Structure 1
Amino acid sequence: MLARLVSASLFGHRARTLLAIAGVAVSAALLLDMVMLSTGMSVSFRSLLLSRGFQLRVAPKGTLPFDTEATIADATATMAALRESPDITAVAPVLGGNIHVPAASGAATSAVALGIDPSAQGDYELLAGREPAADEIVANDALLAAIGRRVGDTLTIAGGYDPQLRRFAGARHVTISGRVRFVYLSRGQRAAAMPIASMQALGGASRRDRASLMMIRARPGADVEAVRAWIAKRLPRVTAISTETALAQVEERLSYFRQLALILGSVSLVVGVLLVGTLVTVSVNERIGEFAVLRAIGVAKRTITAQIMLEGAVLMLAGALLGLALGLVTARYLNAILSSFPGLPQAIDFFLFQPRDAWTALGLLAVAGVLAGAWPAWRGASLPVARTLREEAA
């Protein structure tokens, strides 16, 4: 009986039912997106930092990796000192800079360049070809498309370029040995990598035996914080940054994303509750006579209350499920826009779907919406039968 009454009420007012479900779906989608945004950055960034198996980064004293143009001097001696620790299994040096690829017209295509140790690098994934040797580079799709080259081609690169004189400095011939995808670079950024010795030679005397950072892989089971403390004591001229420290610093810089997510998520929750509460109140006021008749023929007050609340529950459930699909589609679209933000790695996901958090948020919205309709439902079922019938008849 209860199911038939609920079905008759909802299908009897199709337009209002559809509008209610659509409104709840929009609120649910916004709430879901804000929950995904609030956790997506930290979880995604953690996965990014650990994706290549390096738990520590060593940077020049007082800086973050590539935060400034500062470099670590005496890179060879620094790596030798790091390898003294039995808890360190790999040290991957990286030297950042730029290269210029001359064109026949005299113009040049510029790109980010990384000097790496091909045997222990953590900056890119090899998609085709092989790791670079001396006088070889690997490049990403953006750079290959810009210069119109492919794996196996030979080209000229330079470490410096004067656009007024159109003069290149440190030019040398290299072969493209592989096509790669850089893990930490932003979308569309042109980039190449080569052995760190080649990168140091390309930069001249100022880059000799230098490194921008060193990535550290600790042995399984090692205490990463203990390794970090050992590095700080052994090498006071550098800063050792653990994954947890890097995450804390990044989250501090991007805290406005969480604040925005909290505010908009709270607004969507309140809107959903007010929407259902308003619709239930309007529905009760329109059907006071119907409820009085049901009471007069012996239908219990709790049955009428349950009917009204069940109608609200159906609206919330349908709206939440529709909002789940809408939120995922919206999040994918917004993520594509935000991932092109300058300076952010393309592997970062702003909106990360986590089933537990998503269902908790949607469940909270559904329960809050149903409870919002409890008072008008009880009030509608508790009106005096005789007086209500007289007023409706008049």
Structure 2
Amino acid sequence: MSYHAPILIIADDISSDEPSRILSALTEARLLPAEAVGWRDARDAVIRLQPSAVIATGSNDALDALAQQVAAIEPYVPLVALGPHRATAGNIIGFASDDLDRLPPRLRAALRVRTLHATTLRRLSDDGGIEQPPQHDPLQDATVLLIGRGAAYPALSVALGERVGVVGALSIEAAAKHLNARELDGIVLAEGFSQRVVDAFLTVLFEDTRFRNLPIVVTAPPSERPVDLPNLDFVQGEPAQIVAAALPLVRQHAFEAQLGRLLRALDAGGLIDPRSGLLTPSAFERDFATAVYHAQVRGDGLSVAKFVLNRAEPRAQFDTARIVSRLMRKMDFGTLLPDGSILVVFAEADLRGAQTIARRLMAVIRQTSHSARRESRIDPDVSLATMMSGDSARAILSRLAKLDTRRAAS
């Protein structure tokens, strides 16, 4: 695969074996063109070449400054650092392995994010009537699945919860349910499982294209039967070290998910909120009025549920909204209100049917922990209202508000 902008390799000595080996690995993988420069010329080379990706080698003190320079470029330019480094910039993707055969797949996965970002920027430019959402750190929207049952699990949960949303699973079976029910930005597989179970789990992830590019950090020693997952790392050490190794790839995946939601919002003409995946409040109001009118004309059922997320932080509100967006039926629609509550319309559903659907949604929401504090676990309150003969959209929402007030008072 050829990229118009070159891949830039930065090394202490461009005449040494390491840059040559990297160039050979990229050439064999058809990741071209590529060019190598020394650290002294790195800053000027980035300005001159505007590279599609940067591979930095060695432990140069200028790595943080380089990361800051690269982060300012659009579209996204992945920065992969080979070998140990002391840099702290959040956009540096580590690659500690000596096996350069694994580098091209990781780089190719990152370049797909760059292509998606370029597509999004072009669409935003073409669709001038749609306002780009405010920029924020993708980690604010990220959710990581933590799997484990050993002594290190609580400390890892706290360390991860300080930076991202955390979904905990004490078994592989529970982890599989989370993988199928919601969008995740990474997996940390902690201790408590045999090597055979770890290998089988990684093989399942590799065989399912939905999860093949997920960042995966395994805290056990590397397997003798490696699985070809581009963003798989084996990291041992303190919880802070494990989290630090995982976060750059988690941030990249969360950024990719952000771009995907923004493209879906553009496809919908700006009617979908890119952060929640649900309709904007104004689009919901219009669609709800139309749905009520058609349901009255046809004599169909229609119900509305309001999920109130008590004490939920903004990250939890958006994360819960995305769960609802992913799990609700194709015919249903909803919105995240400014007060953090979620309205969902269940088409062709009477009260009994709406209760069944709402219970299924709540079962997934309740299993999600969004911070290191146990009291932050989401346990939503739900109110339901069903359309009656002659009801308008305003009348249904008014009745729902009264039910919500009555429930809060009790």
TM-score by length of 1: 0.23
Taking CA–CA contacts closer than 8 Å with sequence separation of 6 or more, which of the two structures ends up with the larger relative contact order?
Answer: 1
Whichever of the two has the greater Rg, that structure is: 1
Larger helix fraction of residues: 1
